[in-house]
Amino acid sequence: MRICKNILISFLLMVTLVSCMVRANDITNQDAESAEAWNKKGTALLQKGEYKEAIRCFDKAISMDSRLAYAWNNKGGALFKLGKNAEAIKCFDKALSINPVYPIAWDNKGQALFNIGKIDEAIKCYDRALSLEPEYAYPWGNKGYALYILGKVDEAIKCFDKAISLNPRLAVVWNNKGLALRKLGKTNEAIKCYDRALSLEPGLTEAWNNKGSALLTPGKNAEAIKCFDKALSINPVYPIAWDNKGYALEKMGKIEEAIEAYKKALTLAEKQGLSDLVKVIQKDLDRVSEKEKH
């Protein structure tokens, strides 16, 4: 399957809502030791991708005020970004024990549950978030992706459309709607969604990869390769794009170049511990290697 999974990262929106445009050096000496100030500093570090340092700040905030629900939520967000989903869920649960009507924490808990394969539980969390805030675009997008993974494609598209109606600038939702449309065989409509995603976020590697994958269906291999190359110019260690490029080259009869692309994909997938993807790429490499022998 030559499409790349993508999921919304809702806690980034949450950070903007809790501490909008705060920089660590904006904190004055007067409030430097308040729980709120430590939360703000952690938020600034979270926005910069310094997740471990952000967690230290959130821990400091929590040590000063253990009832600060959004500090627990933000710590969960940082742990989520580090791939520590079980720890993140504990933080979201703590936030929700303090404030049960906190839609952002419900949505974030849903994402962490999704990441550990508990998709039905994740959907329940998205639904809880939406029961509290029906006009919140992110849970609609996340629920849509969960439904897509469960094979409920028509329901997924309805959720994506709802998210887009609330916030038409969510590039990832446009990308995910493209995945769903392609699953229904609506390749041209899918490509339009990928193009919309890329108009909003030109650096979205998944959308470049997915557009390239969609272009393979009507045999537009050269155009597809341009998309894969664009994805790889943004993220050179993206094994799915290397594998897809190899497939396009294989379809064009460029066997030696295809083998090199597959080998690159395989090396990267192995380094990144993507065991399922390694199996797919190895099959592609074995197939094209047989062609080379003949």
Domain annotation covers residue 249: yes
Confidence bin at 32 (pLDDT 50/70/90)? low
Average pLDDT over every residue of 194-217: 95
* Mean pLDDT of all residues belonging to the chain: 89
Residues 117 and 19 in one domain: yes
The sign of the CA dihedral 210, 213, 214, 215 is positive
Domain annotation covers residue 2: no
Confidence bin at 33 (pLDDT 50/70/90)? confident
CATH code where residue 93 lies: 1.25.40.10
pTM greater than 0.75: yes
Residues 148 and 240 in one domain: no
Count of structural domains within the chain: 3
pLDDT for 31? 55
- Among residues 19, 64, 66, 67, the alpha carbon closest in space to that of 43 is found at 19
Q: How far apart are CA 156 and CA 240, in angstroms?
A: 24
pLDDT over threshold 60, residue 7: no
pLDDT for 292? 73
pLDDT over threshold 70, residue 235: yes
Domain extent, residue 167, equals: 134-201
Q: Provide the token pair at 133.
A: 């805030």
pLDDT for 294? 67
Domain boundary among 114, 133, 152: 133
